[in-house]
Amino acid sequence: MPAADLSVTKFLGTEDVLLVAAFTFLLSIFVVQIIERFTANKISVKETVMPVVSQREEIEKSSDGKFYQRHIGFLGFIVIVGIIVSTLIDYQFNFMVAMTYPTKMAKTEFYGQFFALLNIVFLFVQFFLTSKILKKFGIGITLILMPLILSLGSIGFMFFSTILLAIFLKITDKTLHYSLVQSSRELLFLPTPSHIRVKAKLIIGTFVNRFASAVAACLILFIPLTFEQLGGLAVIFSVVWIGTIKVLRNEYIKSTKRLLIRRDVDFDASVIATLDADMVTTLIKSLRSKDN
């Protein structure tokens, strides 16, 4: 019997588990404060001084913004589509859990076992597969893996609505999102200049994520679709997701070439060590080119 299951059935009730979660959150406050003490004094003087930006640099930044607008736009769009698909799958998963485990205690035991399994699968994929897949296959194939698997699973879910298939879709969604997709998304930001990258991450991390969640909620609440039809809707968005990834990959290559031409690359050794197959191929082709 898993530890999560044992803790609920033998020692704690469903409501008591919330107290454990609250204690963990409080503990994280002290951990953050300790980390801040060790890092607060390591900020160099160079980082605290505001740089003087010349008129030429301002023009270049304006030009950069126009060039990278498509890159960032498609990146934000795949975030929106991905969150919509994830929300639809999450709704289907919770619906199947409610149908399969009618009592509160049964649900608590199931969720304890499920999230224990989810964390094990996630850690395995993140530590042993993510880097290898990115370096061997590149961002394009890596990003397509998740919507491809979810679309095939959603098609199956439309005809065979079972708790096992719902578990598979949920684990695939969460595992790949926080490992392959998240790592690939960070790489997609790299070819953009730092002043654009910071703003784009802020907008996508705040406004775009909330907007996508709101759109997904409206689709579930206001469109009269059956449980199986929601699976079909997830398939449609997954196909759009795949198409957008193909376009974004081309924009990623263009942005990389632009940085190479302008010699505006601000990669450090740690970033170079994580280059994916697409970026490595682009660098090699550029180095072999006769264009000075």
Tokens of 151: 């679309």
**What DSSP state is assigned to residue 92?**
H
| SS3 per-residue string spanning 191-255 | CCCHHHHHHHHHHHHHHHHHHHHHHHHHHHHHCCCCHHHHHHHHHHHHHHHHHHHHHHHHHHHHH
The whole-number pLDDT of residue 264 equals 52
CA distance linking residue 125 with residue 114, whole number of Å: 17
| SS3 per-residue string spanning 139-208 | HHHHHHHHHHHHHHHHHHHHHCCCHHHHHHHHHHHHHHHHHHHHHHHHHHHCCCCHHHHHHHHHHHHHHH
The whole-number pLDDT of residue 44 equals 47
The whole-number pLDDT of residue 142 equals 86
CA distance linking residue 228 with residue 159, whole number of Å: 8
The whole-number pLDDT of residue 191 equals 80
CATH class of 75-283: mainly alpha
3-state secondary structure of 281: helix
Tokens of 69: 């607008």
The whole-number pLDDT of residue 59 equals 45
pTM of the predicted protein model: 0.74
Q: Which of 69, 77, 179 is nearest to 119 (CA)?
A: 179
Q: Tens-digit pLDDT profile for the chain (292 aa)?
A: 444 544 555 556 666 667 777 878 788 888 888 888 887 655 444 444 444 445 445 545 555 667 788 889 999 999 999 999 999 999 999 999 999 998 888 888 899 889 999 999 999 998 888 888 887 887 888 889 999 999 999 998 888 888 999 999 999 999 998 888 888 888 888 788 878 888 888 899 889 999 999 999 999 888 888 877 888 899 999 999 999 998 988 888 888 777 766 655 454 444 455 555 666 666 666 656 666 5
Q: Which residues contact 186 (CB under 8 A, 6 or more apart)?
A: none
Q: Which residues contact 199 (CB under 8 A, 6 or more apart)?
A: none
- Is 177 within 8 Å of 82 (Cβ atoms)? yes
3-state secondary structure of 214: helix
How does 79-89 read in b/e, with b if 16+ C-beta sit within 10 Å?
A: bbbbbbbbbbb
Tokens of 97: 């859990």
